[in-house]
Amino acid sequence: MKCMYCNATESRVIDSRPTDEGLAIRRRRECVNCGRRFTTYEKIENVQVMVVKKDGSREAFDADKIRRGLIKACEKRPVGATEVDALVRDVEQQIFNSLDQEISSSRIGEMVMERLRTLDEVAYVRFASVYRSFCDINTFMEELKSLLGKPGA
Pair (115, 97) in one structural domain: yes
Domain assignment present for residue 17? The answer is yes
| Residue 14 reports pLDDT greater than 80 | yes
Q: What distance in Å separates the CA atoms of residue 3 and residue 115, rounded to the nearest whole number?
A: 48
Please tell me whether residues 28 and 89 are part of one structural domain: no
First to last CA, the chain: 67
Question: Quick one: which of 104, 114, 24 has its CA closest to 61?
Answer: 104
More confident residue, 101 or 44: 101
SS3 81: helix
Q: Is residue 104 part of a domain?
A: yes
The angle subtended at Cα 31 by Cα 27 and Cα 32, nearest 5°, is 130
6 falls within a domain? no
Instruction: Dump pLDDT digits (tens) for 32-51.
Output: 999 999 999 998 776 789 99
- The predicted pLDDT at position 134 comes to 65
Identify whether residues 36 and 60 lie together within a single domain. no
Q: Is the pLDDT of residue 153 over 50?
A: no
What mean pLDDT comes out for the span 87-114? 90
Helices 105-119 + 81-97 axis angle, to 10: 140
Total number of domains in the chain: 2
Q: What Rg, from alpha-carbon coordinates, does the chain have?
A: 23
Show the domain range for 39: 11-43
Amino acid in the structure at residue 43: K
Query: Which among 27, 23, 46 is positioned nearest to 38, based on CA atoms?
Result: 27
Q: What is the pLDDT of residue 5?
A: 94
